[in-house]
A and B are shown apart, each in its own frame.
Chain A
């Protein structure tokens, strides 16, 4: 078996007041899982090397960058949702890090405090802080929370005891007054970031930040377009990993690396070289986002010789499908277009949410997929219930469809394999 090591930085961890011994075990497990699931893939693009390094350095190199930035007085904000106006943080020279919430390992820590029957994402994320087993959580100035679901909304109140947690109200409808509310929230958030960084954000700062984040989103859009070719030039697992890394890497460097990878994929597309033969089933995944290191479904699907070609998810297209107009000059105008862009995210917390249903069908067509797997986490009510409408839309369009509700535990892997493979048999005909 191939070896992979997530590098150890015990001194840095000590400095961050972590439970070093426990964390070191988690580090080794992550390394083993990564080797088994990622390095064993066939026909991987060479330019995945950078992203492998990002994982090897996930507990060290990148964390060191954050700690150094903080020493320069730059704010570091931990996030759990794509509804954060990242541009505002970057405008203040700050850093946004998406915090992990995709691991079974931290759930027992959370269950000591939180109720058991809430979604695994909230429990996993909370557990990372409660157990002091995530260096990012230890390094942030504050955590940005939002009101997109009850589990999160109420957990922030408890999390705030462990780490300062700043909550923004996300509207749940898309009317004029909702946008007005959101604009006010963005302004407050800007003031908060200015306070933490001790720096007033200028129009130029914001314009630069909008360009930077647009650049990252453009790179991810390009990656998604390349995946629509058959044979697929990259596995869904690798693409998912890149989408996950998008939430904690330095945005300019990240965009550059994604574009370099895309150049390689471009060549693959031209020469018809794919990760699997052209007759392999192509599947799109839609639903609840998959926080790092949640690779469960992708691994099951791709171990059955199929390829995932799209994620309609916040770890996926919902994060990067919309850009912000770069030509606005005044702060008022800039905040206006920024607010607009965020209001186009079709998270299942919204009602009504017809945009998402249409978007799923649209992405299905664009991605050249042959079926949709809807993925929701247990107790994630908004996605679980919205699933009914996605299913109806798929039935209407004659799209092969499978719905899966699961958590991070390995218990149901055998059953999921059977269901996924039966679904692929359906597609293969």
Chain B
């Protein structure tokens, strides 16, 4: 059995891989001690080889992982497992978002990451949901209830938050504001996609891919493109790392 571990900024994800199949996975909060957390999670498995990815990959490599790869490569490997022909991946994680472009063989040819700020990341959605009083799970479905075309102009999290508050005070219905927040993230993603280039099918991975409004709006703004998601979008990176473990 091979194990991939993705030490993200907010969660630790583990995927187990054997004979070309995903045979198990686990997701937990990173906690204050992601190292200890990882070891506890690993204890349930008995891998011949562990590959680490994510923000904590250096630490993991130093202490227990046999190898480390970047999230970029991990997502490429993981996404291709589910969609062998895909050439474009969008990953929205807690702290950063990425757009990855692959060649026919699945090798990374180009990628983009958001810069220092949180706009366009899972964190951004989280803050805006909280400002509007939604839980993360409610946020997307609520936005889908809107038919309006309100918009948020600011890309900066701090300014966007005050924009949201003033819309609320003006009496704009919360689902319309929620839709505006989603559209602002999507327009940022589309900008990154345009810079990197994209194919007919985009794999959407990372936790935000479970948000139905994000998926729908992304597909709508990229007319004619298929936006697909694997069953467990959060563990695509961990799965990619596990596949890498199986390669060596």
Could you tell me if B116 and A429 are in contact, using CB atoms closer than 8 angstroms? no
Question: B residues within 8 A CB of A412?
Answer: 115-116
Partner of A425, one of B58, B108, B115: B108
Question: How big is the B interface, by class?
Answer: 10 to 19
Partner of A418, one of B70, B109, B116: B70
Partner of B108, one of A411, A414, A418, A422: A422
Could you tell me if A418 and B71 are in contact, using CB atoms closer than 8 angstroms? yes
Name the distance in Å between B17's Cβ and chain A's nearest Cβ. 19
Could you tell me if B96 and A415 are in contact, using CB atoms closer than 8 angstroms? yes
- Complex Cα distance A425/B102, Å? 13
Question: A residues within 8 A CB of B72?
Answer: 418, 422, 425
For residues 396 through 429 of chain A, which have their beta carbon under 8 Å from a beta carbon of chain B?
A: 405, 411-412, 414-415, 417-419, 421-422, 425-426, 429
Question: B residues within 8 A CB of A425?
Answer: 69-70, 72-73, 108
Q: Give a binary string over B84-98; 1 marks a CB under 8 Å from any A CB, 0 the rest.
A: 000000000000100
Q: Which residue of B lies closest to A409 (CB)?
A: B116
Q: Which residue of B lies closest to A400 (CB)?
A: B109
Name the distance in Å between A346's Cβ and chain B's nearest Cβ. 26
Q: Which residue of A lies closest to B55 (CB)?
A: A414
Could you tell me if A411 and B116 are in contact, using CB atoms closer than 8 angstroms? yes
Question: B residues within 8 A CB of A414?
Answer: 55
B134 within 8 A of A: no
B111 within 8 A of A: yes
Question: A residues within 8 A CB of B111?
Answer: 419, 422
Q: Which residue of B lies closest to A419 (CB)?
A: B113
- Complex Cα distance A421/B72, Å? 9
For residues 44 through 95 of chain B, which have their beta carbon under 8 Å from a beta carbon of chain A?
A: 55, 58, 69-73
- Complex Cα distance A429/B247, Å? 14
B107 within 8 A of A: yes
Name the distance in Å between A140's Cβ and chain B's nearest Cβ. 35
Question: A residues within 8 A CB of B108?
Answer: 422, 425-426
- Given A426-B107, A426-B108, A418 and B113 contact (CB-CB distance below 8 Å): yes
Question: A residues within 8 A CB of B58?
Answer: 417
Most buried by A among B70, B72, B96: B70
For residues 160 through 204 of chain B, which have their beta carbon under 8 Å from a beta carbon of chain A?
A: none
**Contact residues of A: prevailing secondary structure:** helix
Name the distance in Å between B240's Cβ and chain A's nearest Cβ. 12
Could you tell me if B96 and A421 are in contact, using CB atoms closer than 8 angstroms? no
Partner of B73, one of A405, A411, A422: A422
Question: B residues within 8 A CB of A426?
Answer: 107-109
- Complex Cα distance A103/B72, Å? 31
Name the distance in Å between A47's Cβ and chain B's nearest Cβ. 32
- Given A415-B116, A426-B107, A426-B109, A421 and B55 contact (CB-CB distance below 8 Å): no
- Complex Cα distance A414/B113, Å? 12
Name the distance in Å between A404's Cβ and chain B's nearest Cβ. 10
Question: B residues within 8 A CB of A418?
Answer: 55, 70-72, 113
Question: A residues within 8 A CB of B107?
Answer: 426, 429
- Complex Cα distance A426/B113, Å? 16
Question: A residues within 8 A CB of B96?
Answer: 415
Question: A residues within 8 A CB of B71?
Answer: 418, 422
Partner of B70, one of A405, A411, A421, A429: A421
Question: B residues within 8 A CB of A405?
Answer: 115
- Complex Cα distance A425/B67, Å? 13
- Complex Cα distance A418/B75, Å? 13
Name the distance in Å between A305's Cβ and chain B's nearest Cβ. 11
- Complex Cα distance A419/B111, Å? 9
Could you tell me if B70 and A415 are in contact, using CB atoms closer than 8 angstroms? no
- Complex Cα distance A90/B218, Å? 63
Name the distance in Å between A63's Cβ and chain B's nearest Cβ. 36
- Complex Cα distance A288/B70, Å? 27
Q: Which residue of A lies closest to B114 (CB)?
A: A415
Most buried by B among A414, A418, A426, A429: A418
- Complex Cα distance A414/B115, Å? 11
Question: B residues within 8 A CB of A419?
Answer: 111, 113
- Complex Cα distance A60/B108, Å? 49
Q: Which residue of B lies closest to A418 (CB)?
A: B70
Q: Which residue of B lies closest to A424 (CB)?
A: B70
Question: A residues within 8 A CB of B115?
Answer: 405, 412, 415
Question: B residues within 8 A CB of A415?
Answer: 96, 113, 115-116
Name the distance in Å between B59's Cβ and chain A's nearest Cβ. 12
24 contacts between A and B (CB under 8 A): A405-B115, A411-B116, A412-B115, A412-B116, A414-B55, A415-B115, A417-B58, A418-B55, A418-B72, A419-B111, A419-B113, A421-B70, A422-B70, A422-B71, A422-B73, A422-B108, A422-B111, A425-B69, A425-B72, A425-B73, A425-B108, A426-B107, A426-B108, A429-B107
Closest 6 CB pairs of A and B: A422-B72, A422-B70, A421-B70, A425-B73, A418-B70, A426-B108
Residues of B within 8 A of A (CB): 55, 58, 69-73, 96, 107-109, 111, 113, 115-116
10 additional contacts, CB 8 Å, given A418-B113, A422-B70, A422-B108?
A405-B115, A414-B55, A415-B113, A415-B116, A418-B72, A421-B70, A422-B71, A425-B69, A425-B108, A426-B108
